[in-house]
Amino acid sequence: MVGNQGDSCDYGIQFEVGGGGGVFNGQALYSSNNFDSSVGDMNNVGVTVRPRIGFNASLFGSNLFTGAGSPEGVVTARVGSMYLRTDGGQGTVVYYKESGSGTTGWLGMGGAPIVFGANDMTTVATAVFLAPGYQATAGAGEIKVAITRAGTIRNLRVQIATAGVDTQTVTFTVRKNGVDTTLTCTKANDAAGAASDTTHSFTVVAGDLLSISVTKAAVVTSGQVGVTATIELV
């Protein structure tokens, strides 16, 4: 079905097996279409057909777009459509339409975040560890989270709610299978706010164990409070 336009029927395309039913085992492609059906997209009667879409410009069905800039608030599409952004970056190259029939509802597809945290960083200089999720006090026992698929770990971002007392460098390090990686960042103990490493990365396979250690240059009077750290699996 190529080069179709107009609105000559209730449904843009109707797939029907007559005479009491039957089986359709082929493949259907519709492309270069400009249907404008007010009733529905495709109507399956006695058969289930899922067409392959090629250069679909119709007002029904999913569309594939490309161009510069974000599609949010700009590109009108149906749910299930996709947009390939030519000037995108991390998490902004591929978009999908999750809701609505207008220009809103576009979401960028990026990596999966993994969150660690603890409320009290303690006063010790020796390594303590954030917990997957969050826990009351960072402990000396290393708590690891298992990775479910192969990929790359990147974008360490740390957020500190309350500064500690005494100026000592605090180092946050992502560890793989109990060994330090190059993905690390630092923050003064007497400072709150953000720290990050968006430069380094490392690969993982399913079953690798990740953790985040926190070390201070020396013992402090009080450690930082309310610390969360996120890394991204892509």
Cβ atoms of 24 and 17 within 8 Å: the answer is yes
Cβ atoms of 229 and 157 within 8 Å: the answer is yes
**Are both 139 and 222 inside the same structural domain?**
yes
pLDDT at 176: 98
**Are both 90 and 149 inside the same structural domain?**
no
Which of 108, 137, 158 terminates a domain? The answer is 108
pLDDT at 201: 93
pLDDT at 143: 94
- Mean of pLDDT values over 119-132: 97
Judged against a pLDDT cut of 70, whether residue 58 lies above it is answered with: no
- Mean of pLDDT values over 216-223: 98
d(CA 145, CA 206): 11
What's the whole-model pTM score? 0.65
Q: How far is CA 178 from CA 65, 126, 200, 221, in A?
A: 44, 15, 18, 28
Which of 78, 108, 138 terminates a domain? The answer is 108
Q: What is the pLDDT of residues 1-48, one digit of tens each?
A: 555 665 556 776 777 776 655 565 555 666 666 666 667 777 777 776
Number of domains forming the structure of the chain = 2
pLDDT at 203: 92
